[in-house]
Amino acid sequence: MAPSFDWWGKDTHRGTPVVVKMENPNWSMVELEGPSEDDFLIAGESPTSRVREKGRGKNAKQLTWVLLLKAHRAAGCLTSIGSAMVDLAAAVRRRVASGRTDEEDADNDVTVGGREKENPTVKTRFYSCIKVFLWLSVLMLCFEIAAFFKGWHFGSPKLQLDYLWASPWGFKGVFGWIYAQWVLIRVEYLAPPLQFLANACIILFIIQSLDRLVLCLGCFWIRFKKIQPVLKPEDEDLESGEKGYFPMVLVQIPMCNEKEVYQQSIAAICNLDWPKTKLLIQVLDDSDDPTTQLLIKEEVHKWQQEGANIIYRHRVIRDGYKAGNLKSAMNCSYVKDYEFVAIFDADFQPTPDFLKRTVPHFKDNEELGLVQARWSFVNRDENLLTRLQNINLAFHFEVEQQVNGVFLNFFGFNGTAGVWRIKALEDAGGWLERTTVEDMDIAVRAHLHGWKFIFLNDVECQCELPESYEAYRKQQHRWHSGPMQLFRLCLPAVIRSKISIWKKFNLIFLFFLLRKLILPFYSFTLFCIILPMTMFVPEAELPAWVVCYIPATMSFLNILPAPKSFPFIVPYLLFENTMSVTKFNAMISGLFQLGSAYEWVVTKKSGRSSEGDLVSLVEREKKHQRGASAPDLEELKEEIQKQEKKAALRKKHNRIYTKELALAFLLLTASARSLLSAQGIHFYFLLFQGISFLLVGLDLIGEQIG
């Protein structure tokens, strides 16, 4: 076989330099400058090899610099990780040293929203159950480790029993007898009901996953077909002389002790682009702090002097929380002159064209009762907690509410950033104080009376996300206990209503049972209770696709509306399972009317706004000035600093959350047990989920205040 040659002129079989004379006319010779053929035959190398060696030296230097640069970056990364671990350890020490827990804070409360606090025995029952599971898991782990080192750990329970009973005395000592009895109990009594419960939760999990998939397909179809509510052509308004639709609009701003945000929301709403003769703003202040009341009154008076049609209302008898506040305001005699009412919570800042982009949808559409706008968040990148909340709410608005609005003309009112037809509110029975989700309550009753809803995904209203885990936890408790209260109360009305069978099915099974009850039930039961128990009762199994593949797919679908959040997909999956303990507890409280179901705690606000927001606020105030001195940016800054100093004087601490910590140790114990069975996916899931519960239990996610 003839030798083959590369272009450097070397024999690739022997690796020695040769001179090649190519006879094939299809090949072309490459002429190289340098020594003659005889010179490099004597020297034993070719000119091309010299060029090659020079290039190698240059490449080696470049590679060295690249490696040094990567090493420098790696050292910096390790240093950052090291300092982060030191800070983490210091934060853990502070939590443990302070010893401040959520249970102690609950015991210090005398009343909750005017009602007597819940019986401590009832409040700690759920926590006690988790502790029992924890201690049993620790005991079983010790038991299994001892059996493992004695060599009794076989794959089949039958093999284990045969081995244990193979000794001359029938069993290998007292410990062997105890372990044999444990295996028998496990096989005969524990595994069958546990497997049945696991299979039931898997079925619910699959149904809920299919529901989520259908919603995502609906959202894709809306985008593909570019479906969106269309405004009718504008006509000239006879009274104002402007082109457009300008009915009488009432704007309500309910608030309670929210001095961090009242200025921003009042200023934004007073600058709404709408004829002043057709707009009335009600500031509904339920604050019980005299200083806050005075500040809000002064702010309202300032805008009155500048020409805004705004009034201040304060209730003497503050019953019914937000629903009672709104109900009281709607009873005013002048409300009959208005056709629509827009509602904004105290931290919401609508754009000037908000009413012009929402109210015209009511024109010539007498069946339309509600137009709901989407929320956007000024602090979504503040910390990991706000980023994870943004993922959840982006899916809620863009997928759930948009799909339900397009295909069903129904969704739950968000309580703010929406415009109601007042006739629809009156037809539904007005605001009721019977639950902590008055917004969902009024939406369901309006739907039962045949009113239709529109969701505008392209109209956004800025607001804040809770920055501390304490505030977020209380908010989620209210959001998940209230729907269960409402479900119990409105189920008979839904059954008796005259809406179609399909709408009844959607309201009962999809809206309430599947998304409000089944979701928190299976999420907590399957991943926080059944999965750890299957590690100690291996005869009951959870397939890997249940533990890993479907949750990962669902998390991927959830994160699609917020594509910039893809790096947080794993923390999002773990955090959602971590929050299941709060949601499950809230769901049970609402379903069985426990005391915590009636907790109403105003979500803590930070009043975040950039300096650019303050500048624009000052400019708008100057623009609308009517004979009064314009507010100064420095004065606004000083006011904010004063409020921050007053807040700092109150001694606050991050808390230790006992339920989350107990579940963390339960999951970590189960992950240790899974190592004995060499279950890779189960081990990693339990390990990282346990770490997630540990971080949340030590309040290391969200705002750090000491």
Q: In this predicted model, which residue has the larger pLDDT, 243 or 409?
A: 409
pLDDT at 230 exceeding the cut of 70: yes
Look up the CATH superfamily of 249-501.
Answer: Spore Coat Polysaccharide Biosynthesis Protein SpsA; Chain A (3.90.550.10)
Residue 466: in which H helix or E strand, if any?
none
Is 326:343 a contact under the CB 8 Å cutoff?
A: yes
**pLDDT tens-digit map of 455-468:** 999 999 999 999 99
Q: How confident is the model at residue 112 (pLDDT cuts 50, 70, 90)?
A: very low
pLDDT at 685 exceeding the cut of 70: yes
**Helix, coil or strand: residue 250:** strand
Q: In this predicted model, which residue has the larger pLDDT, 311 or 316?
A: 311
> What is the set of active-site residues?
286, 439
Q: In this predicted model, which residue has the larger pLDDT, 161 or 502?
A: 502
Q: Report pLDDT for 110.
A: 38
Of residues 242, 437, 261, the one with CA closest to residue 344: 261
Q: What are phi and psi of 656, to 5 degrees?
A: -105, 125
Average pLDDT over residues 594-600: 64
Angle at 592 between CA 587 and CA 597, to 5 degrees: 60
First CA to last CA across the chain, in angstroms?
80
Least confident of 63-67, 74-78, 194-198, 300-304: 74-78
Dmax (CA) for the chain in angstroms is 113
Beta strands 418-421 and 368-377, pairing class: antiparallel
Residue 545: in which H helix or E strand, if any?
none
Beta strands 249-255 and 279-285, pairing class: parallel
Most confident of 163-167, 230-234, 495-499: 495-499
Is 368:452 a contact under the CB 8 Å cutoff?
A: yes
Calculate what percentage of the chain has a pLDDT beyond 90: 53
Q: Report pLDDT for 182.
A: 81
Global pTM reads 0.79
For residue 666, give every residue at least 6 positions away whose Cβ sits within 8 Å of its Cβ, in sequence order, or none.
130, 133, 134, 137, 528, 532, 690
Average pLDDT over residues 314-339: 92
Average pLDDT over residues 643-669: 74
Residue-by-residue DSSP string for 589-626: HHHTT-GGGG---PPP------HHHHHHHHHHHHHT--
**pLDDT tens-digit map of 21-46:** 444 444 444 444 444 445 444 445 55
**pLDDT tens-digit map of 249-276:** 999 999 998 888 999 999 999 999 999 9
pLDDT at 107 exceeding the cut of 80: no
Of residues 326, 510, 296, 341, the one with CA closest to residue 412: 510
pLDDT at 126 exceeding the cut of 90: no
Q: How confident is the model at residue 696 (pLDDT cuts 50, 70, 90)?
A: very high
Q: Report pLDDT for 5.
A: 42
CA distance 194 to 242: 69
Q: How confident is the model at residue 427 (pLDDT cuts 50, 70, 90)?
A: very high
CA distance 284 to 318: 11
Average pLDDT over residues 423-440: 94
Q: Report pLDDT for 4.
A: 44
Q: Report pLDDT for 180.
A: 76
Q: How confident is the model at residue 396 (pLDDT cuts 50, 70, 90)?
A: very high
CA distance 186 to 189: 6
Q: Report pLDDT for 319.
A: 86
Is 683:672 a contact under the CB 8 Å cutoff?
A: no
pLDDT at 81 exceeding the cut of 80: no
CA distance 537 to 485: 36
Q: Report pLDDT for 547.
A: 92
pLDDT at 567 exceeding the cut of 80: yes
**pLDDT tens-digit map of 171-221:** 456 667 777 778 888 888 999 999 999 999 999 999 999 999 999 999 999
Beta strands 111-112 and 452-463, pairing class: unpaired
Q: What are phi and psi of 550, to 5 degrees?
A: -65, -45
Q: Is 155 exposed, middle or buried (0-12, 13-18, 19+ CB in 10 A)?
A: exposed
Q: Report pLDDT for 702.
A: 79
Is 384:571 a contact under the CB 8 Å cutoff?
A: yes
Residue 231: in which H helix or E strand, if any?
none
CA distance 339 to 430: 15
Mean per-residue pLDDT of the chain: 80
